[in-house]
């Protein structure tokens, strides 16, 4: 009688192996977004008035000739895109069974996220 060795370090693992790395990535992006939200709220609270120039300065300030405001908002937006991709991809993988429809939804999601990133970059880096 053959004994199955489907346990321990030699067990047969199937699937795409997304679990742990995506879990960690989603937690890291969530922390980045939370920290940026706090920085943004503090910036809004200390902003002297709600004028276009003040809002522009909130996102385009420089530190030692480094566009730190634009770099921080870009980091936050890339984190948002990555966080959204992981979440939406998992929703498509869990709830859409036909492979063709799932692939279509994933491609449309990628196109939407990349388009949003390009549009964001055009706006924020023209300040």
First-last CA distance in the chain: 73
pTM: 0.81
Query: Where do the domains of the chain lie?
Result: 23-125
Residue 17 counted as an annotated binding residue: no
What b/e sequence results for 28-60 when a residue is b if at least 16 CB atoms lie within 10 Å of its CB, and e otherwise?
A: ebeebbeebeeeeeebeeeeeeeeeeeeebbbb
Cα 74 to the center of its chain, rounded Å: 11
Residue 95 counted as an annotated binding residue: yes
Q: Classify residue 15 as left (phi > 0), alpha (psi -120 to 50) or beta.
A: left
Q: What would the two tokens of residue 27 be? A: 């937690």
Question: What CATH code would you report for 23-125?
Answer: 1.20.1300.10
Structure confidence at residue 20 as a pLDDT band (50, 70, 90): confident
Q: At residue 16, does pLDDT exceed 70?
A: no
């Amino acid at each position: 009688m053959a004994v199955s060795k489907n346990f321990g370090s030699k067990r047969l693992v199937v699937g795409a192996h997304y679990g742990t790395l995506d879990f960690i990535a989603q937690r890291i992006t969530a922390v980045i977004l939370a920290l940026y939200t706090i920085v943004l709220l503090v910036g809004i609270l200390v902003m002297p008035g709600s004028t276009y120039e003040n809002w522009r300065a909130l996102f385009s300030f420089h530190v030692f000739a480094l566009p730190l405001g634009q770099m921080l908002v870009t980091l936050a937006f890339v984190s948002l895109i990555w966080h959204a991709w992981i979440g939406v991809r998992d929703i498509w993988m869990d709830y859409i069974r036909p492979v063709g429809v799932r692939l279509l939804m994933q491609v449309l999601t990628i196109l939407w996220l990349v388009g949003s990133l390009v549009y964001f970059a055009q706006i924020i880096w023209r300040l």
